[in-house]
Structure 1
Amino acid sequence: MKTTPRSGMTGEERITVDASNRIVFADDRMPAVLATPWLVAHLEYAARHAIAPCLEDHERSVGTFIEVEHLGATPEGVTVICRARVIHVDGPSVTFQVEARDEVELIARGIHRRRVIDVDRFARRLARKRSRLEG
């Protein structure tokens, strides 16, 4: 890492609910709302943004843990702001408090952990695993 992430660093990601990220089971009775998997993805993106300035070119952060309460539904056309704040750093492991708000209320909150990895080492490990699967 260029610099060690520090408590209080933040990242943000915005998402507007549309056909690409809403629930797939919306119908005449069930309104189209933001799907939980997309909400979780954007919370992870916010955390990734928070520590990206600390990383070397050969490093990335990968998610290793997430616990999120999806507290409220957000209808199509509404923007959600996902935020992540570093709350703990233990070597390459960084823990975040995450939350998401739409234009009316808090819709999610939780904890997320990411690990800083060397992408070349990661690619080699994955190649070894792939060769074991193919061979």
Structure 2
Amino acid sequence: MKDQLKIGTIGEERFVVTERHLIDFAHDGMPEILSTPSLIWFMEHAAINAMLPLCHSGKSTVGVGLNVEHLAATPAGLEVVCRARVIYVDGPLVSFQIEAHDPYELIARGTHKRRLIDVARLAKRVNAKQG
């Protein structure tokens, strides 16, 4: 791969927890807190942001692996910072260490893998599945 990320490259995504990011089963005294699926979406986007310099000329990126521990609860109104640091590059496959923090603590950590892909090739494969 001509263009390649360097080990240590960091992507970041910040957001403020709003009602749309909360768990949908908060009742009977359960506090309204950031849901894991919402958090993962932002953690993946931190990795996407790190790979944006490679996404040109019909290229994009897709997630191919994810392992996340959601360690602490975050209520609405707090800012969360997600960071993805490149830890390994094998051609089009990039591995990341990912973390998320609220103003008080580390709230999630894990690993994530993304692959640089050719958009036209992916579209052709998807179209074939649609008949």
TM-score (ref. length: structure 2): 0.96
Matched, 1:7 2:4: no
Backbone CA RMSD of aligned residues: 1.1
* SS in structure 1 at match of 2:126: helix
Structure 1 counterpart SS, 2:37: helix
Between the aligned partners of 1:40 and 1:96, the Cα distance in structure 2 is 13
Greater shift in the superposed pair: 12-21 or 112-121 = 12-21
Which residue in the other structure is 1:107 paired with?
Answer: 107
Partner Cα separation in structure 2 for residue 105 and residue 57 of structure 1 = 39
- In structure 1, C-alpha distance between the alignment counterparts of 2:130 and 2:55, rounded to whole Å: 27
The aligned counterpart of 1:53 is 53
1:2 is displaced (CA, Å) by: 6.2
The separation in 2 between residues aligned to 1:47 and 1:35, in whole angstroms, is: 19
Unaligned runs of 5+ in 1: none
1:35 aligns to 2:30 (yes or no): no
* Equivalent in the alignment of 2:121: 121
- Partner Cα distance (1:53, 1:4) in 2: 9
1:27, CA displacement in angstroms?
A: 2.6
Per the alignment, in what secondary structure is the counterpart of residue 23 of structure 2? coil
Q: Which runs of 5+ in 2 are unaligned?
A: none
Q: Percent identity between the aligned chains?
A: 50
**TM-fit CA distance, 1:5:** 1.1
Cα deviation 1:81-125 (Å, max 9, x = unaligned): 000000000011000000000010000000000000000110000
Counterpart in 1 of 2:92?
Answer: 92
How many residue pairs are counted as aligned between the two chains? 131
Residue pair 1:14, 1:81 contacting (<8 A) in 2 also: yes
Secondary structure, counterpart of 2:8 in structure 1 = coil
TM-score w.r.t. length of structure 1: 0.93
| Secondary structure class of the residue paired with 1:20 | helix
